[in-house]
């Protein structure tokens, strides 16, 4: 999903657009007109600040045409009819459209609903602020432990009644996380606290009043009322509620409610139809949105066809990779030797030879599994292994034993015996699997070039050079 999104976000194509004086046709590809604004959008997006390999407008034309040709190939192959494609495109499109369906009036209504629900939950008792001191007792502790804690809280309570400073005493003796703040808690409403605590708190009348000792499942408390207030009016909380709506992305919920209301009003409509219609309506007046939606549409198509004809095709064609490597072997020669093998660490001397014997008759790509099942199959890890193709500097143990370099080798704790097994490849890899990643990339590039050449033979295009010269240089 992430790869598809990234790929889609880097590319753009749009449906045919009628030529206007302010947005002339810059090219026609496979009979489809491309307005200048579409080309500019794509060019500017892919050559923005931070792009390393920026292209001139002239150089970008070929890339853009190749992209359009690939999209036409995907449409000709009917990839746009795949249900998986339809679902994924609809998901991307709707992510852009849903928030734009929500008006300022909708946001205000939602803000008022949130306020009213909150005010109702607070009720006539309003909000209270308090501080408390807690001495803890374990719920399953014997009665003697509870009795001992009760004696201590009684002495704390008496000290408070005698005028001791509540905040200072809370800092010294309270076992609650609020102790460092003098036991002070934020404003609370009914329903937010454990019942015994809440009943005692709301029974207090005036600021400064101190409760009797209160027992809860956590231990014993003494509570001090610091203040009361009623919930402020809507205008007081308005801006904070709006920020809450945006932070929680509640626009999507509002849009979903609007869609459901439309369906309820007309049962012949489906959610998909509504979203498609809204996308078309909004795109008429928002060129940026129009091109962004088309970007998802075409980018996902291009990902699908490129994956099938180039990327995945090359990566999975083992015979093709082997043939390509054999034909271009000289391209993969090294400027220094490599060690194809492993550095390993064992607990017992006997395992040094056992490890070598385990893999000596196996293909290189089978080593890891053989070692795992033979030596590390259960909870006891007998060996530690680093397997690969190493050049000088990659691994200290191999540098020391194989390349005869004066280097410091760190021994692994609990695996005191170090060894290596493998062979030196002096000038080049043995087969394509030694440099598989490079061979895959090169084969993909070859398939890509052949595909583009085929598409350029199949489809036609024309460019209006006069309009091309005005890209990013017009009123």
DSSP structure string for 211-254: PPPEEETTEEEEEEEEEEEPPPPHHHHHHHHHHHHHHTTTHHHH
CA 133 to chain centre: 43
Cα separations in angstroms, 167 against 181, 200, 370 = 8, 19, 66
**CB–CB of 295/83 below 8 Å?**
no
Mean pLDDT of 74-86: 96
Locus of tokens 């809280």: 153
Maximum CA pair distance of the chain? Answer: 98
Task: List pLDDT tens digits, range 392-435.
Answer: 999 999 999 999 999 999 989 999 999 999 999 999 999 999 99
Task: Tell me the three state secondary structure of residue 318.
Answer: helix
Tokens of 164: 């001791």
DSSP 134: E
Report d(CA 67, CA 451) in Å as an integer: 12
For the chain, report the end-to-end CA distance as a whole number of angstroms: 39
**CB–CB of 25/467 below 8 Å?**
yes
**CB–CB of 389/429 below 8 Å?**
yes
**CB–CB of 229/122 below 8 Å?**
no
What confidence tier does 380 reach under pLDDT thresholds 50, 70, 90?
confident
pLDDT at 277 over 60: yes
**CB–CB of 157/222 below 8 Å?**
yes
- Give me the pLDDT at residue 461, please: 96
What is the layout of strands, in order, in the sheet containing 32-35? 32-35, 25-29, 461-463
pLDDT at 4 over 60: no
Locus of tokens 């199959």: 377
Mean pLDDT of 279-291: 94
Report d(CA 310, CA 446) in Å as an integer: 9
| Share above pLDDT 90 across residues of the chain, in percent, rounded to a whole number | 92
Residue 380 main-chain phi, psi, to 5 deg: -95, 115
Task: List pLDDT tens digits, range 159-216.
Answer: 999 999 999 999 999 999 999 999 999 999 999 999 999 999 999 999 999 999 999 9
* Exposed / middle / buried, residue 42 (Cβ in 10 Å: 0-12, 13-18, 19+): buried
- Give me the pLDDT at residue 19, please: 53
Mean pLDDT of 73-79: 97
Tell me the sheet residues that pair with 462.
28
Report d(CA 49, CA 334) in Å as an integer: 36
**What is the DSSP pairing of strand 219-229 with strand 127-136?**
antiparallel
What confidence tier does 66 reach under pLDDT thresholds 50, 70, 90?
very high
- Give me the pLDDT at residue 205, please: 94
**What is the DSSP pairing of strand 338-346 with strand 383-390?**
antiparallel
- Give me the pLDDT at residue 3, please: 42
Instruction: Print burial letters for 298-336: b (CB count within 10 Å at least 16), e (below 16).
Output: bbbbbbbbbeebbbebbbeeeebbeebbeeeeeebeeee
pLDDT at 13 over 80: no
SS3 letters across 384-440: EEEEEEECCCCCHHHHHHCCCCCCCCCCECCECEEEEEEEEECCCCCCHHHHHHHHH
């Amino acid at each position: 999903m992430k790869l598809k999104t990234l790929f889609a976000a880097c590319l753009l194509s749009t449906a045919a657009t009628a030529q206007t004086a302010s947005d002339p046709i810059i090219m026609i590809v496979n009979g489809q007109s491309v307005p200048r604004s579409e080309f500019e959008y794509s060019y500017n997006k892919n050559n923005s600040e931070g792009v390393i390999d920026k292209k001139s407008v002239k150089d970008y034309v070929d890339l853009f045409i190749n992209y359009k040709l690939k999209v036409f190939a995907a449409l000709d192959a009917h990839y746009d009819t795949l249900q998986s494609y339809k679902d994924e495109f609809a998901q991307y499109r709707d992510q852009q459209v849903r928030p734009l369906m929500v008006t300022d009036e909708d946001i205000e209504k939602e803000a008022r609903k949130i306020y009213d629900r909150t005010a109702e939950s607070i009720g006539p008792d309003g909000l209270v602020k308090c501080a408390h001191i807690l001495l803890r007792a374990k719920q399953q502790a014997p009665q003697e432990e509870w009795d001992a804690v009760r004696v201590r809280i009684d002495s704390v309570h008496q000290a408070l009644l005698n005028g001791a400073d509540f905040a200072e005493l809370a800092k010294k003796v309270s076992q609650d996380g609020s102790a460092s703040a003098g036991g002070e808690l934020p404003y609370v409403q009914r329903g937010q606290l454990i019942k015994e605590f809440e009943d005692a708190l709301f029974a207090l009348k005036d600021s400064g009043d101190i409760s009797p000792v209160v027992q809860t499942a956590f231990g014993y408390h003494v509570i001090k009322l610091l203040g009361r207030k009623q919930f402020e009016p809507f205008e007081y909380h308005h801006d904070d509620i709006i920020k809450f709506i945006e932070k929680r992305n509640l626009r999507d919920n509002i849009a979903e409610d609007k869609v459901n209301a439309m369906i309820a009003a007309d049962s012949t409509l489906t959610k998909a139809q509504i979203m498609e219609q809204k996308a078309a309506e909004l795109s008429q007046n928002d060129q940026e949105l129009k091109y962004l939606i088309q970007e998802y549409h075409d980018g996902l198509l291009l990902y699908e066809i490129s994956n099938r004809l180039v990327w995945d095709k090359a990566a999975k064609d083992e015979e093709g990779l082997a043939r390509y490597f054999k034909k271009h072997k000289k391209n993969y020669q090294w400027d220094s030797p490599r060690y194809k093998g492993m550095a390993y660490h064992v607990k017992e001397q006997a395992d040094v030879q056992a490890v070598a014997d385990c893999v000596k008759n196996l293909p290189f790509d089978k080593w890891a599994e053989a070692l795992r099942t033979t030596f590390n199959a259960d909870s006891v890890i007998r060996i530690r292994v680093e397997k690969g193709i190493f050049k000088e500097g990659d691994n200290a143990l191999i540098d020391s034993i194989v390349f005869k370099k004066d280097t410091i080798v760190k021994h692994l704790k609990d695996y005191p015996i170090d060894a290596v097994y493998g062979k030196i490849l002096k000038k080049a890899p043995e087969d394509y699997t030694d440099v598989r990643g490079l061979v895959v990339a090169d084969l993909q590039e070859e398939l890509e070039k052949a595909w583009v050449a085929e598409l350029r033979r199949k489809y036609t295009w024309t460019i209006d050079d006069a309009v091309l010269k005005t890209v990013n240089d017009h009123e």
